[in-house]
Amino acid sequence: MAETPVAEQVDDELVIPAPDVSHLVTEDDTPVDNIFSERQMALLRETLYTSWEGPGEGRPFVAMGNVALYATNFLPPLVPDLLLSLDVSLPDEAMLKEHRSYFIWLYGKPPEVVIEIVSNRKGNELGDKLLDYARLGVSYYVVYDPEGEISREPLRIFTRQGARFVETADPWLAGVNLGLTIWRGVYGGMEDNWLRWVDGAGVLLATGPEAKAQEQQHTEQERQRAEQESQRADQERQRAEQESQRADQERQRAELLAAKLRELGIDPDAIATGSDKL
């Protein structure tokens, strides 16, 4: 019987098995969000997938709402309202138990951005959660408190420095090439103050309907420009035709005058050259 090469035996011994997740709760089917929070999470997630190409060419990302975030298989998860993780892709067969949550050992890194939407005082978003996300290694922690439940400021942004978070007044998240702003408008049939992503020029990342409307507007503008170009071309053609007609009329008048001069015995060519000889 052929023996397994030593190198292969060593490689097998070095393989670290994935943590056992059979006992972990990846979904509990408990509705916990109010309508605004549900719409707000959807808005943040939708606009990323609709209008953002990622942090750079060839760099994928995943955005998840209300999905368990596990650092280990023996501690309870955190469940951010939205997480954004760069340079990762969703695993195949997402319904497998070991793929159903954001397991840091599966993705190989914590998410860059976590956003929590405050709906009451029970979430402790500026207390334990802030410390937990800092320990987890999240780069940016955002707390949106539209009703002022726990803060006078509706938008609080924290950036990671070392092992802790430091609050910043800058809404631009340089590490992910995205910014945040509060926008008053209608989304999902509700008019309210919404937290929105913006690009480097401060332009909102569009929702699906907004992107469609922008495309329709762009198409209409292109149609109008084409129509204006066509009208200008027609006007130029008409001017050229008018110039040609005027030139023909001048030529005809000149020929008629020359004919009358010849009838009178006058050489029109001599007149044209200024000769004294008639």
C-alpha 119/C-alpha 125 separation (Å) is 10
Which residue in the block uniquely carries the two structure tokens 């938008």? Answer: 155
Give average pLDDT by consecutive 10-residue segment, the chain, 278 residues.
Answer: 49 58 54 83 97 90 94 87 96 79 93 95 89 95 95 96 94 96 96 97 95 80 81 86 88 84 80 59
C-alpha 199: how far from chain center: 7
Hey, what long-range contacts does 45-49 have (CB within 8 A, 24 or more apart)? 45/82, 46/207, 46/208, 47/196, 47/197, 47/204, 47/205, 47/206, 47/207, 48/84, 48/197, 48/205
**pLDDT at residue 278 in the model:** 45
**pLDDT at residue 7 in the model:** 46
Residue 251's CB: how many other CB atoms inside 10 A? 10
**pLDDT at residue 230 in the model:** 82
Closest CA to 179 of 37, 55, 65: 55
Q: Where are the domains of the chain?
A: 20-203, 218-273
In terms of CATH architecture, what is 20-203?
Alpha-Beta Complex (3.90)
**pLDDT at residue 63 in the model:** 97
pTM for the complete prediction?
0.74
CA atoms within 13 A on the CB side of 174: 5
C-alpha 142/C-alpha 95 separation (Å) is 29
**pLDDT at residue 65 in the model:** 92
**pLDDT at residue 261 in the model:** 80
